[in-house]
Amino acid sequence: MNQEKIIQNTIEFVKTELKNAEGGHDWFHIERVFKNTILISKDEKVDIFTVSLGALLHDIADPKFHNGDETIGPKIAAEFLKKENVDPKTITHVINIIKYISFKNSLSKTGKKFTSKELEVVQDADRLDAIGAIGIARCFNYGGFKNRSLYDPEILPNLEMTKEQYKKSDAPTINHFYEKLLLLKDKMNTKTGKKIALERHTFMETYLQQFYNEWNGEQ
């Protein structure tokens, strides 16, 4: 099994599959998560091949663009990896990373849980791309994609959402900062992830203060 060749094939596969994807969940998002994964892995004892495949395939079919169906991504990934003759143990691990990486699954109070150091690394890498300057850009890009309002002072963030409520939410984009983005700093798994997240979290706080100043006509 030529791991470098498989990773290159995976990159080409993902580029093709996400050719027309929404701007916050396109190939460039995958590429950033992949780079973050490699960066974090330098300080963690993980299988590089597994985390690389997990990062590259984690959003191959994001449920939010497939009517909430969480089975499509794992199925596509499994079929691709089998064609690449990846060993069954690695395939199972990568599929579990795809299944358990998302923030919304952390809201679920029931169901089976999966943990591994590899999942923690890819999860941190993905969450880092949801915060900071790019995280803000992605947040508003998706809000525009869904035709959501920027902000409505009368609609307060829901900090007690269930997984199903989160999936169905159509709240203003600013609410998403409080319902997810500002929570991620304290959900990071790795030392490197926590360090980078703190910097990006601070940037988001500064941005929000500026947003409210401009909204309210203040300097």
User: Tens of pLDDT along 6-20?
Assistant: 999 999 999 999 998
* DSSP H stretches of helix in the chain: 3-17, 27-41, 48-57, 72-83, 88-100, 117-128, 132-145, 163-168, 173-179, 191-215
> How would residue 29 be classed by pLDDT, with cut points 50, 70 and 90?
very high
Q: Considering only CA atoms, which of 31, 25, 24, 29 is closest in space to residue 10?
A: 31
Q: With a cut of 90, say whether residue 105 has pLDDT above it.
A: no
Give the count of alpha carbons within 13 A of 2, CB side only: 6
Per-residue model confidence (pLDDT) at position 53: 98
Q: What is residue 4's predicted lDDT score, i.e. its pLDDT? A: 96
| Under 8 Å between Cβ of 30 and 18 | yes
Q: For 75-85, what is the mean pLDDT?
A: 97
What domains sit in the chain, N to C, each tagged with a CATH number? 1-105 (1.10.472.50), 131-218 (1.20.58.1910)
User: What's the rounded Cα separation, in Å, for the pair 153 and 36?
Assistant: 35
| Band of pLDDT at residue 164, cut at 50, 70 and 90 | confident
Share above pLDDT 90 across residues of the chain, in percent, rounded to a whole number: 80
